[in-house]
Structure 1
Amino acid sequence: MLFFRLILESFSFALQALRSNLLRTTLSLLGVSIGIFAIITVFTVVDALERKIRDDMSFIGDNVMYIQKFPWQFGGGAYPWWRYFRRPSNTVDEFRYLEKNLQEAQAIALIAGRGGNTIKYRSNSLTAVNVRGVSFRYSEVSEIPVDNGRYFSRQEVNRANNVALIGATIAETLFTSEDPIGKKIKVKGRPFQVVGVMKKEGSSIFGSTSRDEQIIIPYGSFGKLYLVGRKGIEPTIALKGKDNDEGLLKLESNVRGVLRTKRGLKPYQEDNFALNRTEAFADAVSSLFSVLHFAGWIIGGFSILVGAFGIANIMFVSVKERTNIIGIQKSLGAKTYFILFQFLFEAVFLSMIGGALGLLLVYLITFIPLGSIHMTLTAGNIILGLSVSSIVGTFAGIIPALMASRLNPVIAIRAS
């Protein structure tokens, strides 16, 4: 109990010292405030950007592999596109073959898309719409959030019926005060019956990737509108991996063996297709934001270093000013750790107040509108800011606190 009482008294002395030198306290905590503000602001902005990018890239699906001609490449380096250009396109026959023979795929879908379309309903029209043709199990590969109506039936897809799922922006523009379900829109002059409206996603960093201005129709219906194949729009085969297939390694091996057999490739011939995984994009995004996080530490680190030296300087001055009081306390029986904690707590309090002020400024920054990017001061960043502040305060105050705790009481009392 004595130990805890002495700790509380140390807290009390530290608070009194901070209150009695308010101007000095304010000036010394500014460095820490600016440093914490810089670090946590960068982290908050980066977190918001990363969250937005990942949300906007949700259209590529999670745990999904794509069979395409061109491999995805993130970063610099040579890209021999001329080699990939000569590769054969995916076909419906290959899609059916994979659908029948793959063992490691949870679902498989055939996809083809074309942008820049004009969609009409009566006298209303909307340009720059992306039309996407898909097979029935596309909804299992990539989540389709239907807000009103339904997804296609298997019969509608197999029969290539002229039915469509439309994005929220299309519904709002073409059907201002009507329920779109059951109505017919025109795509390249052909009527398509609306069976569903997708949930509104909002604006996207990547522009056309948002489903708000997208129409999804059966793959066979898409083939009625556009030339599909090597001389036209080249389709993509998408495969959903199983949950227990970490990194989709089993699926990749399975697809490579089956597709090489289908295309008649000999053992010494290289693959004439690319297997692109969504994890590759996720890894590229993580690497990019790791660099930005590091930059945040560098930017804020200098301010925190200046703040730490400022706090240390103030604590040395404080020890000098209170040398006589320290001598009296020690002569009356004050323990060494009591003096140590008294100055150490003062330094930590000073630093944490500066950190809290920096976090308050970050919180105010989150109210600034940044379009579709929403910044949030997370609990993790708050804890990080306060933790960094307390560590800075500890290192800045430990040497002055040790000096104060080791003073000779006789010499200290005589100090003027």
Structure 2
Amino acid sequence: PWWKYMNRPQPSLRDFAALRERMGNAQGITFEISTSDRTIKYRSNSVEGINVSAASHDFDKTWNFELQAGRYFTETESNNGSPVLLMGADVAEGLFGGDDPIGKQVQVLGRRLTVIGVFKKEGEDMLGTSLDKNVNIPINFAKSILDIQNERYGPQITVRGNDNVSLEEVESELKGLMRSIHRIRPGQEEDFALNKTTILSNQLDSMFTMVNWAGWIIGGFSILVGGFSIANIMFVSVKERTNIIGIQKSLGAKNYFILLQFIFESISLCILGGLLGLLLVYLIALLLGALTGFYIILGVNNILLGIWISVIIGTISGFWPAYSASRLDPVEAIRS
């Protein structure tokens, strides 16, 4: 019920400290908050609408990101709450253009902080989130200017398990520790929620699996129709060139030469159609990306798969017309 959700206590620094001390299957535990629609300034330049996040030192262990310039916070900077920050690529571009931002002082949340790193540009994910317009500061620095346990800043604790430990083990340990920290008796309902990032990825995997199956089914029918069309074209080609085939055979052309000649022609037609199809898919993907911002990548593996399928269909579709051409009697073929 919604009232139980509303009455849940926010994740606290006490919870965070207890988990850091007692959890054994985690490679990183982070306390995080964020505040949106802020403005960052450097001299006369400013960028509005940025998101300011504050996190404890293990942020680089619980989340995946790359830096295009500079470095991450040192443990001393995180523990002491030093006035330093990391900024997204769009923020750096808006404030500094092509200049190097490392070591420059900027103003955000009414304080002056030194830029020590810039996140690599990554674009938006499926949920529209991105580090490109984000600024990250140490949580201990945020303590001095914000009430970091206020629910308006959305405090959360992020845990990332060790690589050799299953998600179920991490979840079980985390749930047991949180029940212990909150002193919840056996059988009593939990007053916290564990949200797994794999929930979204599993749903997306399921959705894309269905899309792939639908694509293969539709593609299978298209391939079937295309195969019959190629076979018909090749039968017509054999019919129209019967006398030429007879002349070739009378001049000494072997059956396998006639066979390969028509099979290669069939394969060439299929490859040409496959390349035109790939070009059409590429143009549609570009158009969808421009209109929706959701970019579909046509990888090398997909291109090679499309060409390989074209070769197979060309071979199968062209074999019988080619075989019938190779078995023609040269005298009868010339007379036709």
TM-score higher than 0.5 = yes
- 1:224-266 CA-partner distances (Å, limit 9, x unpaired): 33333364433111122222234x2221222122222222223
Residues 336/215 of structure 1: CA separation in 2 closer, same or farther (3 Å cut): same
Match status 1:268 vs 2:187: yes
SS in 1 for 2:121: coil
Residue 252 of structure 1 corresponds to: 171
Q: In the alignment, what sits opposite 1:309?
A: 228
Q: How does 1:195-214 map to 2 (within 5 A)?
A: 195-201=115-121, 203-204=123-124, 209-214=129-134
| Equivalent position of 2:109 in the other structure | 188
2: CA distance between counterparts of 1:349 and 1:405?
Answer: 19
Matched, 1:218 2:160: no
Task: Tell me if the contact between 2:10 and 2:151 (Cα under 8 Å) persists in the aligned partners.
Answer: no
Contact 1:130–1:208 under 8 Å retained in 2: no
| 2: CA distance, partners of 1:330 / 1:183 | 82
Structure 1: distance between partners of 2:103 and 2:320: 77
Change (3 A) 1:167 1:403: closer
Pick one of 299, 306, 309 that aligns with 1:385. 306
Deviation of residue 149 (structure 1)? 4.1
2:228 matched to 1:228? no
How many residues in Structure 1 have an aligned counterpart in Structure 2? 334
SS of residue in 2 equivalent to 1:240 = strand
| Shift in Å, 1:412 | 4.5
Where relative contact order (Cα < 8 A, 6+ residues apart) is larger, the structure is 1
Tell me whether 1:290 sits opposite 2:232 in the alignment: no
Deviation string, structure 1 residues 158-200 (Cα, Å, up to 9, x no partner): 33343322333333434568765555433332x2321413134
Which of 254, 274, 282 aligns to 1:355? It is 274
Worse-superposed segment, 368-377 or 170-179 = 368-377
Contact 1:164 1:195 in 2 (8 A): yes
Amino acid at match of 2:16: F
In 2, Cα distance between the equivalents of 1:157 and 1:355?
Answer: 55
Q: Which residue of 1 aligns with 2:157?
A: 237
Q: Which deviates the most, 204-213 or 100-109?
A: 204-213
Q: 1:84 to 1:402 in 2, by over 3 A?
A: farther
Check whether the contact 2:31–2:155 (CA below 8 A) recurs between aligned residues: yes
Q: Separation in 2 of the partners of 1:166 and 1:410?
A: 78
Between 388-397 and 372-381, the greater mean CA deviation after superposition: 372-381
Tell me which residue corresponds to 1:101.
22
Provide the residue aligned with 1:52 in structure 2.
Answer: none
Q: Could you tell me how far apart the structure 1 residues matched to 2:314 and 2:303 are?
A: 17
What amino acid does structure 1 have at the position aligned with 2:119?
K
> Residues 351 and 390 of structure 1 are in contact (CA less than 8 Å); yes or no, is this contact kept in structure 2?
yes
2:89 to 168, 177, 192: 168
Amino acid at match of 2:33: A
CA distance change for structure 1 residues 326 and 144 in 2, over 3 Å: closer, same or farther? closer
C-alpha distance in structure 1 between counterparts of 2:231 and 2:181, whole Å: 72
**What is the match of residue 63 of structure 1?**
none
Unaligned runs of 5+ in 2: none
**TM-score when normalising by structure 1:** 0.66
**Contact residue 92 and residue 118 of structure 2 kept, 8 A:** no
Distance in 1 separating the partners of 2:81 and 2:263: 76
User: SS of the residue aligned with 2:154?
Assistant: coil
Contact (CA 8 Å) 2:245, 2:325: kept in 1 or not?
yes
Alignment match, 2:198: 279
Secondary structure of 1:243's aligned partner:
coil
1:43-54 maps to which residues of 2 (within 5 A)? none
Q: Which amino acid aligns with 1:254?
A: E
Give CA-to-partner distance per residue, 1:36-78, whole Å, 9 cap, x none.
xxxxxxxxxxxxxxxxxxxxxxxxxxxxxxxxxxxxxxxxxxx
| Structure 1 contact 151–195 (Cα < 8 Å) conserved | no
SS at match of 2:153: coil
Identity of aligned residues (%): 44
Structure 1 unmatched ranges of 5 or more: 1-79
What's the counterpart of residue 65 of structure 1? none
Residues in 1 aligned to 2:106 and 2:128: alpha-carbon distance in whole angstroms: 21
Taking structure 1 as reference, are residues 358 and 410 closer, same or farther at Cα in structure 2, changes over 3 Å only?
Answer: closer
Q: Does the Cα contact within 8 Å between 2:67 and 2:120 map onto a contact in 1?
A: no
Normalization by structure 2: what TM-score? 0.79
What residue number does 2:48 align with? 127
